[in-house]
Structure formats: structure tokens, C-alpha cells
Amino acid sequence: MRVLPRSFSAVPSKSFVLPDLPYDYAALEPAVSGEIMTIHHTKHHQTYVTNLNAAYEKMLDAQAKGNIDAVIALQGAIKFNGGGHVNHSIFWQNLCPVSEGGGVLQQGPLSDAITAEFGSLDALQTKFNATTAAIQGSGWGWLGYDKVAGKLKIATCANQDPLQHTHGLVPLLGIDVWEHAYYLQYKNVRPEYLKQIWGIINWKDVECRYLAAK
């Protein structure tokens, strides 16, 4: 099916790349093992990037040929792999070794907003963990910012669905609860993984995202 003009030319593509981690693979131990981080980053995230580039190239080619059927058929792969790339890129920045301040939320605009919305950081963590642990299958737990309401909100997304395009929230903090993120270390005890990961949250990064979102 050809519905685009033959003269249509796709914009030359620029490949998506796997971002470097801002810390060593073993730097988040004991909360997350170096083995998990190595596999998660170099295998899982890399696969999302590789598949995203492949799907995107095919889409550009289909657009250039005016093949709308192929463009539509590729949207699922672009959403899944693009979401995986976006989500993981945020996730790596959301984490930080304890030696560099991981797990410590300083008094400031974000801590004030958390207290106003949830009562305390402990209360936020309790609600977040309960909501995220209940995800059926694979997905992500998120702390996002609702620009319309001017409030922090907890949300979950299935698979690799991106938060902003699913719930309309600006992503501040995302925690991956696909089994590849924790199973080698925590087996099927997802709640324990969620409990331990708060000790390596990069609250400085989360606050920067919060201030930018406002």
C-alpha cells in the first residue's frame, strides 16, 4: 500500500547508542551484584538498542518507499525497544554507589514535595514498593511528576512502556522489575529487591529531574 508521495525522502538516521554507566559494574554491591549489572547493561540494554536501531532503519526505509503498512507494523518494535532504551537510560542515572551518596535524600525541594504528598520518605517507599511489587509479569515502578496537578505520583508501566506516553507523567525515578534486574541475586523475592534498592538511589539525579520538570 503506497500513500506517501514517491518524492518523500526520509531524514538520514542517527544510530541510538548504549550509554556508559557512571560507575563500575560492581559499585552498587551488595544491593545489586556486579554480575547482574554487567548482564543487564551489556546484554539486555544493548539488545534494546540494537533492535531499536534495526526497527528504526526499517521504518525510515518504509517511509521513503511510501509503505504505510510497513510503517504501522514497525510501531510495536519501536515502542518496545525504544521504551527499553529510554527506561534503562534513566534507571542507570537513578542509581548511585553508597560511597557517592547513594540512598541519601538531602533536605530540599524534592524532599519537601515528598513530605507534602506522601508524609515522609518512608511512606513513599512503602507505597511505591507495594504498588511495584504487585505488577503482574514484567514492568517498571515509577515516581513521576504530574505537570497539570503539580504533584508527585506513583505509577506502574507494563513491559517497557514509557511512563510519559502511558500516564502523562514526567519520569523522575524508575525501578526495573523485570526478572533480569534481580533474579540472579534475589530469585523470586521481588519485595526484597525493592527494599534493598533504595539504598543506592541517586536522589541528586531524581531532584534534578524534578526541578527540570517543574
Residues of the binding site for Mn(2+): 40, 88, 176, 180
Residue partners of 49: CB distance under 8 A and separation at least 6: 16, 17, 18, 81, 85
- For the chain, the first-to-last Cα distance in angstroms comes to 44
Q: Which helix (H) or strand (E) segment is 196 a member of?
A: helix 190-197
**Between helices 190-197 and 121-133, what is the axis angle to 10°?**
150
Spatial distance between the Cα atoms of 38 and 85, rounded to a whole number of angstroms: 16
- Binding site: which residues? 40, 88, 176, 180
Cell of 64: 521513503
